[in-house]
Amino acid sequence: MKTDKINLNISGMTCVNCSNGIEKFLNRQKGVLKAKVSFASNEGEFEIDKKLYSKDKLIENIEKLGFKVEEDIEALEAEQQKSFLKLKKYFITSMSITILIFIFAFSNLVDASIKGYFIFLLASIVQFFCGARFYKLSFQAVSHKNYDMNVLVALGTSAAYFYSSFVLFFPNLFPDYLRFMYFDGAAVIITFMLLGKYLEENSKQKASDYLKKLMNLAPEYANLLNKNNEIETVLASTLKIDDQILVKTGEKIPADGEIISGGADIDTSMITGESLPVYKKVNDEVLSGTLNTNGIITIKVLKTSKDTTLSKIITLLKSAQSKQIPISRFADKIANIFVPTVIVISILTFIIWGVFLGDFQSAIIASISVLIISCPCALGLATPIAIVSSVSRGAKEGILIKNPEILEKIKEIEYAVFDKTGTLTKGNISVCATNIDDSYFKVIGSIEKYSEHPISKAIVSFIENKSIVCNDMITDIDIIPGHGIKAIFENQEYLLGNQKLLKDHHATISKEHLDFYEQEANKSNGVILVAVNKKSIGSFSLEDELKTDALDTINSLKQLNIKPVLLTGDNKTTANIVAKKLGIEEVYAQVVPTQKYEVIRTLQENSKVMFIGDGINDAPSIKQADIGITLNSGSDISKDAGDIVLINNQLNSIIKSINLSVETMKIVKQNLFWAFAYNTLGIPMAAGVLYPFFGIMLTPMYAGIAMSFSSVTVVVNSLRLKIKRLK
């Protein structure tokens, strides 16, 4: 048996039921061995028996179901954008017309004799133009034996709309006390359901932006050295293993490779999270997408563009994005039982009143009342209104909730995994101590100004903060990559750099200065020695400071029985020192993004995991984790990948996010309980169960009032989130 694996981009899916429907249909086809379709990423992965099935047949079957197969990612994005704008148009139209319906219904702007017909025209636009998607989706859901919220919306709004239409055009069929219209109720339901869909699609639309940005990180072109050692500009994607490429200062490395000549300071922060550039020399490996900050190097290509570390990050992100999140959708689950039950009750009500009791007028009234009172306005509003209130409250607290679904999972988190640089620490190198006399600061600052190295900038900033102007002209200066700076000023030789720089230039280091150097180095601080005329004058010690609220946040997580974990690409010594200061017991250090991703997956085998990071290198972990949190100060890619963005960059907002989610889920459950309790009590009353005992029969008017009251209750309950105190 010859098998073939096929990946397709599928557009036109509007909900999870669409992807489920494609899977179920294709898995029944002879020759299809496996079909997996992701609504989140609009991708399908298929495995077929080439003798029994073909790619063309696969595409034909998908398109028969009413979906489109796009040739490339650009075509898919264009189709998604088109669908999103269409949904936005429907929502705005529905909202505008619904407002008009209420204005005309409760005012005298239109003559009473034609008011009903005018409202009917407006309601018809909402019902069949704006709400057409619900009829289509409910048909698809029923055809796949799945009775979801779309079926409830189509059923309930249709009952209200058509009953009102009959009352308007055939009033003589109804006694005076039954001539009520519910066009406004049907329009409100459709508008709010479109709002929920719009928010969902808006979140999904942005979810893949980070992939496009990540793909653009690697340089498009490379400087290839040909056989004659001449430079040719070629596409980086065409590079082959063993090709030799030249990378100049300020250029990004186009492929994973090994340095065969030269040396340079490489900014690897996007891959490893190292806060300081790392000096790379001959025989050292370098990664695609990292930045050459200082130096000229020649690299031998070790991996093609498809196998680089950067491409693996992209693959991991796609995999993480496609994962199906096991969220409990209360409304849809119960709806699968509720919808058929309502239909059966309505039919039985008509049969009992009409056939057995011979009262066809009461039969019509009671059966319609059952459908109206079961209209899922409160059910439809239960979750969306609570989510909207929660998201707005979060924004007020500096918490941007991009993926509202995580509000249901965050209470189950057992591990809070933190990146170090820029997340727990400030991410800015600064001078924390020095034993150099102030009289040297002006010259040192003037020399360091000639370098763009982060360490040089930190020293200059430290000196200028002391109101010292560093403006001496340095004409004889030599920046030595990986070692430091040598300069001549007023006939004096200055050496600023590591211990090797001073030894190579035969400078002596006094015991006092060596002790200070080793003391600061043992703290895992970066240390820059300074010598004048071959004699040391002291050192600058540099560190990346902890954020002020880091310790409180870690302690608060422990009180919530959430175990903090440190996961960083930084060296083990630095990682362990930071962990000890914060009381973090579990530490993973010197890990690249693929390893971070695997650590998250391992932790997820038995527990729910939250990851907090801010760098490009954190994006796969952020996306893979059950909850991904990123900082506003982080990279655009990490922000796009995250479920929550901390706009205020305060770590204590993590605790507020957890508390907000707990309160939100309480509200959602209360809303759903009320919505179903209302139906449980209201439907029997509408069916006339109480009539033989108390002479009470719920008419469509009171059914509509009860429906509206339940909706108001749900909305008011949800709005409590806006005033709830978050600790």
Residues 324 and 19 sit within 8 Å (Cβ to Cβ)? no
Average pLDDT in the 566-590 region?
84
pLDDT of residue 121: 95
pLDDT of residue 585: 92
**Same domain, residue pair 415 and 430:** no
pLDDT of residue 416: 94
Q: Which residue in 629, 615, 625 sits closest to 553, CA to CA?
A: 629
CATH code of the domain in which 51 resides: 3.30.70.100
**Same domain, residue pair 516 and 591:** no
pLDDT of residue 23: 83
pLDDT band at 561 (very low <50, low <70, confident <90, very high): very high
Q: Per the domain annotation, does 354 fall within a domain?
A: yes
42, 71, 100 — which closes off a domain? 71
pLDDT digits 0-9 by tens, 79-98 = 778 888 898 999 999 999 99
Torsion of CA 526, 530, 534, 535, to 10 degrees: -100
Q: Per the domain annotation, does 534 fall within a domain?
A: yes
Length of the chain: 727
Q: Per the domain annotation, does 656 fall within a domain?
A: no
**Same domain, residue pair 391 and 482:** no
pLDDT of residue 229: 84
The two beta strands, 257-267 and 291-301, are: antiparallel
What's the rounded Cα separation, in Å, for the pair 578 and 564?
A: 13
- Record the tokens describing residue 17, joined without a space: 């039921």
- Record the tokens describing residue 149, joined without a space: 């919220």
The percentage of residues in the chain with a pLDDT greater than 70, rounded to a whole number, is 84
Helix, strand, coil percentages in the chain from 3-state DSSP, rounded to 5: 55, 20, 25
**Same domain, residue pair 91 and 174:** yes
Q: Per the domain annotation, does 471 fall within a domain?
A: yes
pTM over 0.75: no
What's the rounded Cα separation, in Å, for the pair 364 and 369?
A: 8
**Same domain, residue pair 61 and 96:** no
Query: Domain limits at 35?
Result: 3-71
Q: Per the domain annotation, does 35 fall within a domain?
A: yes
Question: What strands, in cross-sheet order, belong to the sheet with 492-497?
Answer: 425-434, 535-546, 526-532, 492-497, 484-489, 476-480
Indicate whether 327 pLDDT > 50. Answer: no
H helix runs in 126-182, sequence order: 132-143, 149-169
Active site residue 419: yes
What's the rounded Cα separation, in Å, for the pair 488 and 476?
A: 5
Indicate whether 332 pLDDT > 70. Answer: no
Indicate whether 40 pLDDT > 70. Answer: no
**Same domain, residue pair 196 and 76:** yes
pLDDT digits 0-9 by tens, 524-547 = 677 899 999 999 999 999 887 788
- Record the tokens describing residue 254, joined without a space: 């186009």
The half-sphere exposure of 571 on its side-chain side, counting CA atoms within 13 A, is 12
Average pLDDT in the 430-446 region?
92
Distances (CA, A) of 45 to 36, 37, 75, 144, 620: 5, 6, 18, 21, 20
**Same domain, residue pair 387 and 508:** no
**Same domain, residue pair 135 and 40:** no
CATH code of the domain in which 535 resides: 3.40.1110.10
Place of tokens 């290509």: 301
**Same domain, residue pair 56 and 81:** no
Is residue 153 classed exposed, middle or buried when 0-12, 13-18 and 19+ CB atoms within 10 A define those classes? buried
Distances (CA, A) of 385 to 372, 391, 495, 713, 721: 21, 10, 65, 11, 10
Residue by residue, DSSP assigns 444-509 as HHHHHTT---HHHHHHHHHHHTTT--------EEEEETTTEEEEEETTEEEEEE-HHHHHHTT-B-
Indicate whether 322 pLDDT > 50. Answer: no
Q: What is the CA radius of gyration of the chain?
A: 33
What's the rounded Cα separation, in Å, for the pair 378 and 573?
A: 56
- More confident site: 211 or 511: 511
Q: Of 256, 267, 419, 614, which one is the catalytic site residue?
A: 419
The two beta strands, 627-631 and 608-613, are: parallel
Q: For the chain, how many structural domains are there in total?
A: 6
Q: Per the domain annotation, does 34 fall within a domain?
A: yes
Q: Per the domain annotation, does 561 fall within a domain?
A: no
**Same domain, residue pair 524 and 433:** yes
Residues 379 and 331 sit within 8 Å (Cβ to Cβ)? yes
Indicate whether 30 pLDDT > 70. Answer: yes
**Same domain, residue pair 305 and 268:** yes
What's the rounded Cα separation, in Å, for the pair 507 and 513?
A: 12
pLDDT of residue 563: 94
Q: Per the domain annotation, does 523 fall within a domain?
A: yes
- More confident site: 482 or 621: 621
User: Which of 322-336, 374-388, 562-576 bottoms out in mean pLDDT, i.e. has the lowest?
Assistant: 322-336
Indicate whether 685 pLDDT > 50. Answer: yes
Is residue 543 classed exposed, middle or buried when 0-12, 13-18 and 19+ CB atoms within 10 A define those classes? buried
The percentage of residues in the chain with a pLDDT greater than 90, rounded to a whole number, is 21
What's the rounded Cα separation, in Å, for the pair 294 and 306?
A: 27
Q: Widest CA span of the chain, in angstroms?
A: 117
CATH code of the domain in which 264 resides: 2.70.150.10
Indicate whether 176 pLDDT > 80. Answer: no
**Same domain, residue pair 720 and 696:** yes
pLDDT band at 548 (very low <50, low <70, confident <90, very high): confident
